[in-house]
């Protein structure tokens, strides 16, 4: 096993890329209807009867470190996201959706497994590095990646593959290090291109990307060396001469894959784009130039070699352009679905893996990126875990609907499973009596059937790297830091400023009991539980 640490493609010039799209779309109003459930008219109800026997295609777009307030349709005043806003206007926008964790790897594991972090095998960004290999003048690890997903528990691509879907993932894996028991080739993925290791993804102009392609005859994940990039250093001025920009390369590979898909053959793709995670470096194109004009008073960042975040200028412009670049990717995906006549038969989900970051020179305070929520990435306060979540599914989801339904990443797996027509999820895929799933399908919410929607008694998170735990029970929220609990009423205190523990000890006791019921000991990840009352 590698050592552990806890803490030929076509080239694109760094001076070309996207032009900022139209910004005329009015942001969707964040006003809940019908007590948190979407208002559906008779037309939508009738449309749901269409194509009942056809399995939907699924594009699940998971971006990296986009906060609740980073999109115009969620109230962002500075950054233009017309394509994602349009996606929201054509589907349902959730105002109380939660990530699986306040950081990447465990959040993605929750999505993949249908488990919260009290049960999931991955509960932090534990990394494995070993060996040394040279790419040009650059030293790299011979093996790298994160803690593996549990092979004794089914994951989302395996389920889709079992149900007859063609499966793919483009972007970041973070579910096992290279050569481990859990890499895309071993977990139901037919086509993968991107980063196996999320630490490698700190470089947007990397030495290599990873690939697995059944259609090309691959038998395992391999590295595709980026030949132009490796002719230059991984840091300093020479780094700026690299031209093979990973976000574009990954998106282009996803578009090529989508172009090969056919009507009547269901497909499932996880598009785990790395934008807008640091480093704040990208092609110097019209997107960056637009925001440089907008933010004439800007900041610079000196870089952090140990974290692989390179120095950059105009950090506000760079960050805003990264989100608009992602928006351009979403627009291209939607146009490709239209071109191929697949829009009506495809569910599209857009979300983020956790709250906003401040690495690499990012400035969430400037952008108000937490949507007026407390906390950032790595925090179990609302700002670290509440995320944008949008679903477009023609004929099933009413356009322009907004939902206050409380859901989390571990609900996605049973929801998608029910959406493709199978209800006996747990009995079919549990691997032994101790294997469990924590999610509840929110398909009734999507389809406007509020009386059929099961509701969580509570939601649960734990994150040992900052030694925090959180429980949400209705509007009550408990955050535990290093074993000390604090109690908040989100109905009157969305910013979690007033600790009500002394006033409502009975509520606090109940939530502490939930922690002790939900937490299962892990041999790898630890956290301090609050004392029982």
pLDDT band at 3 (very low <50, low <70, confident <90, very high): low
| Whether 111 contacts 100, CB under 8 Å | yes
Give the per-residue pLDDT at 199: 96
Cα separation, 382 vs 98, in Å, equals 9
Cα separation, 354 vs 174, in Å, equals 14
Give the per-residue pLDDT at 477: 98
DSSP per-residue string spanning 67-122: -TTSSGGGT-SS---HHHHHHHHTSEEEEEEE-SSSSHHHHHHHHHHT--TTT-S-
Q: How many CA atoms, within 13 angstroms, populate the side-chain half-sphere of residue 47?
A: 16
Q: Report the SS3 class of residue 527.
A: coil
Give the per-residue pLDDT at 47: 41
Cα separation, 492 vs 489, in Å, equals 6
Q: How many C-beta neighbours within 10 Å does residue 259 have?
A: 10
Give the per-residue pLDDT at 498: 98
State the burial class of residue 186 (Cβ atoms within 10 Å of its Cβ: 0-12, 13-18, 19+): middle
Q: Name the phi and psi angles at 523, rounded to 5.
A: -75, -10
pLDDT tens by residue, 240-271: 999 999 999 999 999 999 999 999 999 999 99
Report in angstroms the alpha-carbon separations of 502 from 190, 471, 486, 507: 54, 17, 9, 10
In this structure, what token pair is assigned to residue 375? 């906390």
Give the per-residue pLDDT at 4: 56
Angle at 353 between CA 351 and CA 354, to 5 degrees: 110
In this structure, what token pair is assigned to residue 462? 């734990």
Give the per-residue pLDDT at 23: 35
Q: Report the SS3 class of residue 485.
A: strand
Minimal CA–CA distance to 58: which of 417, 383, 439?
417
Name the DSSP class of 49: T
pLDDT tens by residue, 106-151: 999 999 999 999 999 999 999 999 999 999 999 999 999 999 999 9
Mean model confidence pLDDT for the chain: 91
pLDDT tens by residue, 382-429: 999 999 999 999 999 999 999 999 999 999 999 999 999 887 788 889
Residues of the chain above pLDDT 70, percent = 89
| Whether 330 contacts 361, CB under 8 Å | no
Q: How many CA atoms, within 13 angstroms, populate the side-chain half-sphere of residue 259?
A: 7
Q: Is the pLDDT of residue 38 over 60?
A: no
């Amino acid at each position: 096993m590698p050592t552990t640490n806890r803490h030929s493609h076509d080239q694109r010039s760094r001076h070309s890329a996207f032009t900022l799209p139209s910004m005329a779309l009015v942001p969707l109003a964040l006003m809940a209807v019908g007590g948190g459930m979407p208002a559906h008219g008779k037309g939508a109800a009738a449309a749901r009867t269409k194509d009942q026997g056809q399995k939907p295609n699924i594009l699940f777009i998971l971006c990296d470190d986009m906060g609740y307030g980073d999109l115009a349709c969620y109230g962002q005043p500075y950054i233009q996201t017309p394509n994602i806003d349009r996606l929201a206007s054509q589907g349902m926008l959730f105002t109380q959706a939660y990530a699986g964790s306040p950081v990447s790897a465990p959040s993605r594991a929750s999505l993949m497994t249908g488990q919260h972090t009290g049960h999931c095998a991955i509960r932090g960004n534990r990394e494995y590095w070993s060996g040394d290999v040279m790419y040009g003048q650059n030293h790299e690890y011979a093996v790298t990646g994160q803690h593996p997903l549990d092979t004794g528990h089914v994951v989302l691509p395996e389920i889709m593959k079992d149900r007859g879907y063609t499966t793919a993932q483009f972007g970041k894996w973070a579910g096992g290090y290279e050569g481990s028991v859990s890499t895309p080739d071993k977990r139901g993925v037919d086509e993968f291109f991107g980063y196996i290791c999320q630490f490698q993804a700190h470089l947007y102009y990397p030495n290599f990307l990873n690939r697995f392609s059944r259609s090309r005859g691959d038998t395992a994940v391999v590295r595709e060396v980026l030949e132009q990039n490796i002719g230059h250093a991984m840091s300093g001025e020479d780094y700026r001469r690299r031209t093979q920009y990973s976000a574009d390369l990954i998106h282009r590979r996803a578009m090529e894959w989508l172009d090969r898909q056919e009507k009547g053959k269901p497909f499932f793709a996880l598009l785990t784009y790395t934008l807008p995670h640091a480093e704040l470096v990208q092609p110097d194109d019209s997107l960056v130039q637009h925001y440089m004009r907008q933010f004439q008073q800007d900041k610079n960042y000196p870089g952090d070699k140990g974290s692989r975040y390179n120095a950059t200028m105009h950090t506000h412009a760079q960050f805003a352009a990264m989100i608009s670049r992602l928006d351009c990717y979403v627009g291209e995906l939607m146009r490709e679905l239209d071109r191929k006549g697949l829009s009506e038969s495809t569910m599209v989900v857009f979300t983020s893996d956790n709250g906003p970051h401040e690495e690499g020179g990012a400035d969430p305070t400037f952008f108000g990126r937490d949507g007026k929520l407390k906390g950032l990435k790595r925090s179990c306060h609302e700002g670290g875990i509440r995320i944008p979540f949008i679903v477009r599914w023609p004929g099933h989801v009413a356009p322009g609907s907004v939902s206050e339904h409380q859901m989390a990443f571990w609900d996605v797996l049973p929801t998608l499973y029910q959406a493709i027509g199978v209800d006996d999820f747990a009995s079919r895929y549990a691997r032994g009596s101790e294997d469990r799933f924590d999610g509840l399908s929110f398909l009734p919410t999507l389809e406007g059937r509020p009386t059929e929607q099961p509701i969580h008694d509570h939601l649960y998170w734990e994150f040992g790297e900052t030694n925090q735990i959180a429980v949400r029970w209705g509007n009550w929220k408990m955050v535990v830091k290093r074993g000390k609990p604090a109690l908040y009423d989100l109905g009157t205190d969305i910013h979690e400023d007033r600790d009500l523990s002394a006033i409502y000890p009975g509520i606090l006791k109940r939530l502490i009991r939930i922690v002790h019921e939900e937490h299962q000991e892990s041999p790898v990840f630890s956290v301090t539980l609050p004392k029982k009352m």
